[in-house]
Amino acid sequence: MKKGKVINSDISRVIAQMGHFDKLSIGDAGMPVPRMTEKIDLAVDNGIPSFMDVLNNVLEELEVQRIYLAEEIKTENPTMLEAIKKRLPETPITFIPHSEMKQELNNVHAFIRTGEMTPYANILLESGVVF
């Protein structure tokens, strides 16, 4: 459910259309996106915008009840994992294999591509409700 601050019209539209349990994904520049999944491409350059900048912006408007991360982030990108945990300290995390995360992109409202160039910087955000 929309909360209030995203100015990118495509991201704002997608968030506004989401309901309880719907999913939105944010990811690094290298994540393969299924052809039928809407891709909102924000990538400009290496690291621009960063994964965390985009995640922080989306969280201004999207109520999130659960996040999904690749199991591989634990060993391959622990710095990013800690940043995500710090930003969403009370949100339950489900770890899934990266291969499963790629398949789940068939079931998201959209994938937001960032300029992030670190491994496994991908997340599935499960929408909650504000009431």
99-131 residue pLDDT tens: 999 999 999 999 999 999 999 999 999 999 998
Q: Which of 3, 5, 20, 87 is catalytic?
A: 20
Active site residue 109: no
75-96 residue pLDDT tens: 999 999 999 999 999 999 999 9
- Residue 31 burial class via C-beta count within 10 angstroms: exposed 0-12, middle 13-18, buried 19 and up: buried
The long-range contacts involving 99-103, CB below 8 angstroms and separated by at least 24 positions, are: 101/68, 101/69, 101/70, 102/31, 102/32
| CA distances (Å), origin 25, targets 36, 99, 102 | 14, 15, 10
